[in-house]
């Protein structure tokens, strides 16, 4: 694994847990973790349960005891590391967004396709596909429970930037993060929309905004979880926020369904509210990540007199991933998405199948994000997304 | 009152009730109701409590015992009736949307301004401003409880057109209805956004769609409540739907806040879900018309350890309009918005003050709707709204 | 109508509205209202829409233009007025609880049975049976949607006595109110449990408590709505609270189902939370009066993978009472229960059928309340309820 | 650890995770797990991450590399194992209910007190005290946010016995389980009530019921998670259910607050609904285990105009246990209660402090359960609980 901040900790918990809960054809071993600060990475290895620590990701990739490289760094280094790992014959799991640009994502996808022909697999870390309620939603849609889709609505609302004194972390700087709420939150929203609808977004019309344009520079170095600072700290005073604080966009699917997206870090009081709703001719589904064990389903084929959105508590043994967990009603949490991701990836490696979401899926999300930025720059004009 | 279908029935209930519950400076009398079908309008007068019935709205306007004309017809006749009533010296309450075009709304507003100088009042029937929770929300925003606004999000979701065999009523024909979900539902959404934010929408970027383009012609004549047919029935076969089924648009306020709107009649399982959320630097508010006695408020000035969206049950005596109603917890319903509207209008007449929303407010909503249609026709390009 | 405080105002709104909304075989006229204070009752008659005012209920009963007497006084006068009205040949609607003792309720029931043989009807005003969601729940249970019942859980939580400086109104004095939360709130809870389960409570085990035993005496006379004072005001200082503040009881139905009840005015933050849940072998229902347009239904015959409590928005035209009201999603309020009660009573009178709940039903509730008090006095021992 | 079924798996996950997330003064090592079936226990050790396997709990206790014994067996063996472990100088964590009788719990408590004088610790596994929302609730109550308590309401609703063909597992047999819903669910309910209120239940009045009195015998041996069978399988046909299916009881605290309890496995559609509500003079709290990341708080000291139950998403860094986990809004699940339990126990061992809940706390719960059974056997008469 490369990187050991918030995502690294979450992935580690997934890797440590998956084999204790699921029956797996292969047993994952936490061979080595990599970071630039030797002392910090050794402490992280001990804490998170990795057998060894490296300070150069090239050394990590060169290790014989590493079969799979899990890339948990900021987006600006995804392409270089993931492509090198694939070229070195490793399987790769890469955090989302796949890259900071379509070009990088394109190169990564090509590398993945070449690697696939050599029997390697590559997966993009859209972990929310592994929330059991989301997996169940996808299964129900694939079964036709919603019929022809009319509306797909996804908003991802957080509020950690409301305070203008929150510092200028790497997530607020374009060179490291690529974009702001768009790439961080909007990427999840777009991936879920495409995953659930079963088709790509065909075009978008977008607005983006940066509400707070200057923020205090971080005094120290990179550290910690959510507010981890990027390189270049040490100065005092204010620095420019060079990414969006919020992105709103509408879109169309080729099937004719309409889509509505919102990603923001300024929705005061909303902590991690990834809300999804899909309306089809035969029914509707609704989900909110702040209540991740629940899926709401309206079955429009029922008599209206007793129809209504039902709250499915997604903890039954025949719900996705749940056969391995606790009895009904004993809910899971955020971190379990990483165990499920690990489960699916390990099975794909063992079975020689292509895991989803692939790098191509990650690339397709990246194309939507690029179209959003293009539309926003062109007065919101409707901008088709190439496939 | 002109018209006695759904809106006429609702307004009548408001007029009958207001003086029984509130202390009013003037006592409304239900003098006469008007409709084209003599037998039907007499039956409606008896049923709804009007003293007389007329079949020609010009005759209604000419009556000496009529001081106020309440226009509850489809949008295509609003301008003619309202202007004539104002010119005849009557006060006017006109249902929303104010008109089917900006030009009509402009003419109506000018007539209202002339009439105002003669001591008459004119009001647009955006009754949802009179939901106590909405009135409370406005009061809290005006008091600064939200601080600088960042996001205003309004969706109005219904599902009565999901079934493609639903007939081609007047609401689905442009000559009568002007537009579809946009004018019917979007008008409420835009009015609430502007009312709550306290400023007009500055520009929009929009998509509209008609999912079902042909529907069965209505066999009979106009009747009933929600699905009342328009003129021209009698034929069989299919006819063209000439209005939108759904409209999605994003926008900006001059203050810099972003806005997100959705109006649809295809959100399966959503019956009357007018949902509003506003996020500001100091707090947030959320509302859903399907739970109209509740307002959710997050106070961001509180310590995070005990902060969260609180459910204010808007039934306390110091909540707007509630001093006249039942003890706490004994909720109101949809129809009470019309009693509150009547209350505010009667007081304005008695006190000689200008009621809100004025015809100018209705015109401003109309300008937003026109900008939405223009943007949708121009590939969603951002389209400023004149003030 | 006798009495014109909170209940009188609510009943008046029901009587005024019912014929404007429903098709009725008879048209109710609001002939006369009665109260002891001549000036106040005349003002109330004007305000509430009654044609005449009386200051002696015997005079009211003697009027030729009165066919139905609606008793809205405190419980201590129910028996005398209702029996006299029945003996005078009038139909009677009597507010709940039917009386302050089983003996009074027994006498009233006997008078009602004698009157019934003369073609009169008598009804107890358990208005919550007329919440559409409750009526729908009863219909679903009668259809067998829940199967064999296992649990019936009813709590009625309010908080208006939490403040110890709230004054000693008539509702807190045993001579006027009979009991406290038990008779006021518990009576509704017991009636709903018996109505929904379709059988009487067989026995109870109870605790009651008075948390605040002394309260300020009311300075003035009886008036107003929720906190209307009783006779004997004028003094200063503190007086004894002689009724319960809260009553908790468990019980059994003859069928074997268990029941759990709670009635309190000390549930801080709960304003009018009448919550009902029934669990049966085939399904469950849940309801909360603070969201009275919603009924939650779990259908246990569905596959577990997609089962869950669904929120039925009880506003569809085929829901009870809804055929006469607004389109789906346009909710009703507390007061509409009184219009529905009036509707059912008027139809019963016109059709010569016995309305429910009868005085016998009111008596049966009274027997449960008496058993609760007996059990509470006898160390909570299980106390059978005679039928 | 002794036992490796549902509770064993959950405890193992807690032990494996705690040191990876929290800073601990001691590092737990998973030395050995014990079960009667040698092959099965070795498989469990591999799966769950234990270094060794034992088939005799006495051998486990005798191991030098074991400092702490975690007892996860059915209740009938708790006393023997826990006392032996304490006598052998080990620290002990014992699953709830502490024992199947007051006598056993008394003996265990005495053993724990003797051991404590030797520097050992003993803890009862009421893991729900470690739900962050519950820990926060306790903190708020201790700070006086609720003022004088009036009502404590706890219900624990499940539905896994609704189907009469569900087999006769050990949990339905008195010799193994002690009692049914009462000991399994009611024990949690009573512990939480006492923990949150900060005082013991003073007396109870109770009903218990067994709805389905015969169930199919289990064909095979003990195994698996929720429906694990007890000894004595192999026969066919039906066997007697010898425990309660549901227990309802009311109670009093010495402070005068009233308590209401319900424990059932027949609440159709409720999967793991441990619901808690406390109402005090200054505020109220509400919690539902099916939404375990949320705590609802009503602050009655606020102006009524903007008061209401707020939803605190208990995922902030200053919430209990949360400083070690994910960013705000990234919720935890059921299993994390076991990591928190391990955290508190390890710290108590390291610091030489007495952990809570102690065996004495477990004994006090047992006394309440015994009083419930006594009251139920004596016609629900109010039965004091000794302290």
d(C-alpha B118, C-alpha B112), whole Å: 10
User: Which residue, A72, A83, A64, A75, is CA-closest to A34?
Assistant: A72
Position C205 pLDDT exceeds 50: yes
If DSSP codes are grouped into helix, strand and coil, which group holds residue C32? Answer: strand
* Residues 6+ away with beta carbon under 8 Å from D227: D160, D166, D167, D169
Q: What is the CA radius of gyration of chain A?
A: 21
List the structure tokens of C77.
Answer: 């006068």
Buried b / exposed e across B354-383, counting CB within 10 Å, b at 16+? ebebbbbbbbbbbbbbbbbbebbeeebbbb
* Whole-number Å distance between alpha carbons of C70 and C4: 11
Nearest residue to D18 via CA among D33, D31, D28 = D28
Which pLDDT value is given to residue A235? 53
Which residues 70-109 on chain D approach chain C with CB closer than 8 angstroms? none
The pLDDT of residue D236: 67
The strands making up B91-95's β-sheet, listed across from edge to edge, are B68-71, B91-95, B122-125
Residue B13 is nearest to which of C20, C160, C292, comparing CB atoms?
C20
Cβ atoms of A215 and A150 closer than 8 Å: no
**What three-state secondary structure class fits C258?**
strand
> What is the average pLDDT across D298-319?
97
Q: Are strands B201-209 and B246-253 parallel, antiparallel or unpaired?
A: antiparallel
Which of B225, B327, B329 is opposite residue C290, by nearest beta carbon?
B329
Residue D303 in tokens: 């102006």
Interchain contact, D331 vs A334, CB within 8 Å: yes
Other CB atoms within 10 A of residue B122 CB: 31
- Residues forming beta bridges with residue B224, ordered by sequence position: none
Query: Which tokens in the block code for residue D170?
Result: 């050990």
Mean pLDDT to the nearest integer, D226-238: 53
Write the residue in B249, B258, B381 that is nearest to A381 by C-beta. Answer: B381
E-strand ranges in chain B read 32-34, 52-54, 68-71, 91-95, 122-125, 149-157, 201-209, 214-216, 238-240, 246-253, 258-264, 273-280, 283-288, 294-299, 309-313, 383-384
d(CA C225, CA A66): 77
What is the residue-averaged pLDDT of chain C? 95
**Per-residue pLDDT tens digits for C110-154:** 999 999 999 999 999 999 999 999 999 999 999 999 999 999 999
Q: Taking the CB of residue B128, how many other CB atoms lie within 10 A of it?
A: 24
| Contacts of residue D137, Cβ cutoff 8 Å, sequence gap at least 6 | D196, D276, D278, D285, D287, D295
pLDDT at D367 over 60: yes
Please name the member of A271, A291, A329 whose beta carbon is closest to the beta carbon of D158: A329
D-chain CB neighbours of A337 within 8 Å are: none
pLDDT of D235: 53
Tens of pLDDT, residue by residue over B205-218, are 999 999 999 999 98
Contact B279 A270 (CB under 8 A): yes
Q: Which tens digits make up the pLDDT trace of C248-267?
A: 999 999 999 999 999 999 99
CB distance D267–C284 less than 8 Å? yes
Q: Is the pLDDT of residue A175 over 70?
A: yes
Residue closest to D211 by CA, chosen among B49, B134, C279: C279
Compute the distance between CA of residue D8 and CA of residue D17 in angstroms, rounded to an integer: 14
> Model confidence at A233, in pLDDT bands (50, 70, 90)?
very low
C-alpha dist (Å) from residue C229 to A128, C71, C168, C213, C271: 59, 18, 7, 17, 20
Kindly indicate the confidence band of residue D218, based on its pLDDT and cuts at 50, 70 and 90: confident
Residue B191 has pLDDT above 50, yes or no: yes
Contacts of B209 in chain A (CB under 8 A): 256, 258
pLDDT at residue B166, rounded to an integer: 96
d(CA A170, CA A182): 15
Indicate the helix (H) or strand (E) that contains A204.
strand A201-209
B179-to-B8, B170, B268, C167, D246 alpha-carbon distances in Å: 21, 11, 21, 57, 58
Q: What is the pLDDT of residues C154-198, one digit of tens each?
A: 999 999 999 999 999 999 999 999 999 999 999 999 999 999 999
Q: Rounded to whole angstroms, how far apart are CA atoms A295 and C385?
A: 44
Name the DSSP class of D130.
G
> Mean pLDDT across the stretch B97-124?
97
Lowest average pLDDT, out of B162-166, C93-97, D212-216, D229-233, goes to D229-233
- What domains lie within chain A, and their CATH numbers? 6-127 (3.40.50.720), 129-332+365-377 (3.30.360.10)
Report the pLDDT value the prediction gives residue B60, as an integer from 0 to 100.
98
Q: Which residues of chain D have a CB within 8 Å of the CB of C205?
A: 205-207, 250, 380
CA distance linking residue D269 with residue C280, whole number of Å:
10
B260 touches chain C (CB under 8 A): no
Predicted pLDDT of residue C253:
98
- Interchain contact, B267 vs A279, CB within 8 Å: yes
Is residue D230 scored above 70 in pLDDT?
no
Tell me the Ramachandran region of residue B255: left when phi exceeds 0, alpha when psi lies from -120 to 50, beta otherwise: alpha
DSSP state of A266: -
Angle, vertex CA A308, rays to CA A306 and CA A312, nearest 5: 115
Which H or E run contains A356?
A: none
Q: Could you tell me which residues come within 8 angstroms of residue C286 by beta carbon, excluding any fewer than 6 positions away?
A: C275, C276, C277, C278, C295, C296, C297, C309
User: For residue B328, which residues of chain D lie inside 8 Å, CB to CB?
Assistant: 304
Q: How far apart are CA D19 and CA B74, in angstroms?
A: 69
Give C260's contacts in chain D (Cβ within 8 Å).
248, 260, 262
- The stretch A180-187 carries a mean pLDDT of 97
Q: Are D34 and D50 in contact (CB under 8 A)?
A: no
**Is the CB of C126 inside 8 Å of chain D's CB atoms?**
no
Taking contacts as CB-CB distances below 8 angstroms, the residues of chain D near A30 are: none
From the list A17, A48, A333, the residue facing D331 with the nearest CB is A333
B96/B366 Cα distance (integer angstroms): 10
Which residues in chain D are closer than 8 Å to B307, comparing Cβ atoms?
310, 312
Q: Let me know: does A149 contact A280? Beta carbons within 8 Å.
A: yes
**How far is D144 from D150, CA to CA, in rounded Å?**
13
pLDDT tens, B257-293? 999 999 999 999 999 999 999 999 999 999 999 999 9
Percent of chain C with pLDDT over 70: 95
Distance between CA atoms of residues A51 and A243, nearest Å: 37
- D264 interfaces chain C, CB cutoff of 8 Å: yes
Contacts of C203 (CB under 8 A, 6+ apart): C251, C252, C371, C382, C383, C384, C385
pLDDT for C218 equals: 85
Q: What is the pLDDT of residues C25-75, one digit of tens each?
A: 999 999 999 999 999 999 999 999 999 999 999 999 999 999 999 999 999
Cβ contacts of D333 on chain A, cutoff 8 Å: 293, 330-333, 335-336
Interface of A with C in 131-170 (CB under 8 A): 136, 140
Helix then strand then coil, in percent of chain A rounded to 5, is: 35, 20, 40
Q: How far apart, in Å, are the Cα atoms of B253 and each of B149, B203, B229, B366, C246?
A: 10, 7, 37, 16, 52
Q: Determine the pLDDT at residue C235.
A: 53
- What local confidence, expressed as pLDDT, does residue A218 receive? 85
D113: tokens are: 């007190």
Do residues D70 and D7 touch, judged by C-beta distance below 8 A? Answer: no
Please, what is the angle between helix C336-351 and helix C6-21, to 10°? 60
Q: What is the pLDDT of residue A224?
A: 35
Q: Kindly indicate the confidence band of residue A212, based on its pLDDT and cuts at 50, 70 and 90.
A: very high
pLDDT by residue (tens digit) across D267-282? 999 999 999 999 999 9
Per residue in A319-343, pLDDT (tens digit) is 999 999 999 999 999 999 999 999 9
Residues 178-237 of C with CB under 8 A from D: 205-207, 209, 211
Average pLDDT over residues D376-382: 98
Which helix (H) or strand (E) is C132 found in, with range?
helix C132-142
pLDDT tier at C224, thresholds 50, 70, 90: very low
- What is the Rg, in whole angstroms, of the alpha carbon atoms belonging to chain B? 21
Whether pLDDT at C231 is above 60? no
* Residues near D64 by beta carbon (within 8 Å), at least 6 away in sequence: none
Enumerate the β-bridge partners of residue A49: none
Count the Cβ atoms, other than its own, within 10 Å of residue C202: 20
Q: Residue D43: which residues within 8 A CB-CB, separation 6 or more? A: none
Q: What is the Cα–Cα distance from D205 to C248, expressed in whole angstroms? A: 10
CB contact under 8 A, D268 and C256: no
- Alpha-carbon distance C253 to A331, whole Å? 34
Across the interface, do B310 and D312 touch by the CB < 8 Å criterion? no
A379/B379 CB distance under 8 A: no
Helix (H) or strand (E) holding C130: none
Closest by CA to B264, choosing from B190, B189, B193, B185, is B185
- The per-residue pLDDT for range A336-362, each reduced to its tens digit, is 999 999 999 999 999 999 999 999 999
A228, pLDDT greater than 60:
no
The stretch A177-185 carries a mean pLDDT of 96
pLDDT at D130 over 70: yes
Cα gap B41→B39, rounded to integer Å: 6
């Amino acid at each position: 694994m490369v990187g050991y901040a918030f995502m690294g900790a979450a992935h580690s918990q997934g890797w440590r847990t998956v084999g204790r809960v699921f029956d797996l054809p292969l047993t994952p071993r936490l061979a080595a973790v990599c970071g630039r600060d030797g002392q910090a990475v050794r402490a992280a290895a001990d804490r998170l349960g990795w057998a060894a620590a490296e300070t150069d990701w090239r050394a990590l990739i060169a290790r014989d005891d590493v079969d799979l490289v899990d890339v948990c760094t900021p987006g600006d280094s995804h392409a270089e590391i993931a492509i090198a790992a694939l070229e070195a014959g490793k399987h790769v799991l890469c955090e989302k967004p796949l890259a900071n640009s379509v070009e990088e994502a394109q190169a990564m996808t090509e590398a993945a396709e070449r690697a696939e022909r050599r029997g390697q697999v590559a997966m993009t870390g859209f972990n929310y596909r592994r929330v059991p309620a989301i997996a169940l939603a996808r299964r129900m849609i694939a079964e036709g429970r919603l019929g022809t889709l009319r509306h797909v609505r996804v908003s991802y609302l957080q509020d950690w930037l409301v305070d203008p004194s929150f510092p200028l972390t790497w997530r607020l700087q374009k060179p490291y993060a690529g974009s702001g709420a768009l790439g961080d939150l909007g990427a999840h929203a777009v991936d879920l929309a495409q995953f659930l609808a079963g088709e790509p977004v065909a075009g978008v019309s977008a607005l983006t905004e940066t509400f707070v344009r200057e923020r205090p520079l971080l005094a120290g170095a990179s550290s910690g979880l959510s507010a981890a600072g990027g390189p270049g700290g040490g100065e005092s005073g204010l620095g420019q926020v060079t990414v969006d604080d919020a992105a709103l966009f509408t879109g169309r699917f080729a099937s004719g369904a309409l889509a509505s997206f919102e990603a923001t870090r300024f929705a005061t009081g909303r902590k991690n509210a990834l809300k999804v709703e899909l309306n089809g001719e035969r029914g509707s589904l609704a989900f909110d990540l702040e209540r991740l064990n629940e899926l709401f389903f309206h079955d429009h084929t029922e008599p209206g007199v007793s129809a209504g959105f039902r709250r499915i508590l997604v903890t039954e043994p025949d719900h996705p991933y749940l056969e391995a967990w606790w009895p009904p009603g004993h809910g899971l949490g955020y971190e379990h998405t990483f165990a499920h991701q690990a489960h699916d990836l390990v099975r794909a490696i063992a079975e020689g199948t292509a895991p989803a979401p692939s790098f191509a899926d990650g690339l397709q999300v990246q194309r939507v994000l690029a179209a959003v930025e293009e539309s926003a720059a062109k007065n919101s004009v409707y901008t088709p997304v190439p496939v």
